[in-house]
Amino acid sequence: MACMAPVHMVAPMLRIPSEICISKLPGFFGAAQAVGRLATCARELAEGLKDPSGRLLVHSIITGQLSSATEGLERASLSELEVFRLDLTNFTGQLTKQEIERCIRLLGTSLSKAEKLQQLAVRLASFDTSMERIRLGVGTWEALIRCLGELSSYGRLRSLDLSCFNIKRSRAIQDVSMSACPPGTDLQELVATAAEPASEKASPSELAANAAIARMRSASDGVRKEDETLVPSTTANGTRKLRRASSSPTEGAGAAAAAAASSPKLSFLDALARLSSLEVLTLTYDEIFGDVAKMLPPVFQKMEKLKRVDLTRNNIPKQDMQALRADMPRQVELCGDDLQTFYFY
């Protein structure tokens, strides 16, 4: 009886007209739920859906959930992945900055191995659960830049969508080491952010934060000049204290810093310029101001296959947008020039 059960289940399908089977069944069997059910019924099918390391052979990961994106990156065979899309703009649950950063760091380290990736889209939520604007930390941003640098070497990426990111001047031109960065760069990035020009019209809360960071830098400089780090030293008369200069690196930090300094460096704009296979670039809601827009035409000139650029809902003045359009390659379509956002304080 057990052997006859599968035949009995398939019998109704055999009575379906062939034209319906040809047009509808391939799409049904290509769905994740249907494939999963088939895999639970056939051991050979389940084994055929995995690579030698046990990861699922899938061509796309499309989701609006952080948890499923993380699980997909951990379980999918990255060598076969062609499409990755994460859209959090319509997510109705609670998101924390820490959760988003963990996912983006995992995305950066994972997708850097996706040699066949053709479409990459990451659309962040505008605010976290505490209604604070989501701004990625320096380590997360660097992981994303390294990922773009690695993807450019494969020459497969055709579409890139990075929306609701914070791409101000300091981020756009920040040099990122292609190897792991030494610790202690978070404060440096905060200081760099505090140095943003006033023309970017930072909000009052951002101005207050920048002032606090400037005070932190001033206090840090004062401590550096009068560092009194004590090191025990044994003498004939007992133990006395020696002072170590603040410029003297701690044990093990010098080697890590030297390794990072010797590795190639890449900025966000450099990474874009190296994406020679890219056809569609979407940078919407990214807080891009006029100073960054002026840096984009030389980048677009190096992207030989670029066809469309969308800069909707940034902060680019009309005159800068007109100059951008005039300097762009003729074959590239520019979208969003009449859909910019401006704040008046």
- CATH code, 88: 3.80.10.10
pLDDT tens track for 24-49: 666 666 566 766 676 677 777 778 88
| Domain coverage including residue 322 | 59-178+265-345
Indicate whether 258 and 138 sit together in one domain.
no
In this predicted structure, the answer to whether residue 249 has a pLDDT above a threshold of 70 is no
pLDDT category, 18, cuts 50, 70, 90?
confident
Indicate whether 259 and 269 sit together in one domain.
no
pLDDT category, 182, cuts 50, 70, 90?
very low
Indicate whether 153 and 280 sit together in one domain.
yes
Q: What is the model's pLDDT at position 127?
A: 83
- Whether 6 maps to a domain, the answer reads no
In this predicted structure, the answer to whether residue 1 has a pLDDT above a threshold of 50 is no
- Whether 8 maps to a domain, the answer reads no
Indicate whether 152 and 286 sit together in one domain.
yes
pLDDT category, 235, cuts 50, 70, 90?
low
Q: What is the model's pLDDT at position 65?
A: 92
Q: What is the pTM of this model?
A: 0.70
Q: What mean pLDDT value characterizes the chain?
A: 78
Indicate whether 65 and 119 sit together in one domain.
yes
Indicate whether 336 and 257 sit together in one domain.
no
pLDDT tens track for 63-72: 999 999 999 9
Indicate whether 131 and 246 sit together in one domain.
no
- Whether 9 maps to a domain, the answer reads no
- Whether 240 maps to a domain, the answer reads yes
* End position of a domain, from candidates 224, 246, 263: 263
Indicate whether 256 and 195 sit together in one domain.
yes
pLDDT tens track for 220-230: 454 444 444 44
Indicate whether 79 and 101 sit together in one domain.
yes
User: Mean pLDDT throughout 136-145?
Assistant: 94
Residue 164 backbone class (left: φ over 0; alpha: ψ -120 to 50; beta: rest):
left
Q: What is the model's pLDDT at position 149?
A: 95
Q: Is the dihedral of CA 73, 76, 82, 86 positive or negative?
A: negative
Number of domains in the chain: 2
* End position of a domain, from candidates 201, 232, 263: 263
pLDDT category, 214, cuts 50, 70, 90?
low
Identify which of 260, 239, 240, 110 has the alpha carbon closest to the alpha carbon of residue 175.
Answer: 260
Indicate whether 253 and 285 sit together in one domain.
no
CA distances to 29, 115, 171, 288 from 35, in Å = 6, 24, 42, 42
In this predicted structure, the answer to whether residue 83 has a pLDDT above a threshold of 80 is yes
* End position of a domain, from candidates 202, 231, 263: 263
- Whether 48 maps to a domain, the answer reads no
Indicate whether 74 and 132 sit together in one domain.
yes
- Whether 144 maps to a domain, the answer reads yes
Indicate whether 122 and 195 sit together in one domain.
no
What is d(CA 115, CA 152) in angstroms, rounded to the nearest whole number? Answer: 10
Residue partners of 308: CB distance under 8 A and separation at least 6: 279, 280, 281, 332, 333, 335
- Whether 24 maps to a domain, the answer reads no
Three-class secondary structure of residue 181 per DSSP: coil
The residue that leads in pLDDT, 59 or 6, is 59
pLDDT category, 345, cuts 50, 70, 90?
very low
The residue that leads in pLDDT, 151 or 27, is 151
In this predicted structure, the answer to whether residue 55 has a pLDDT above a threshold of 60 is yes
The residue that leads in pLDDT, 235 or 191, is 235
In this predicted structure, the answer to whether residue 82 has a pLDDT above a threshold of 80 is yes
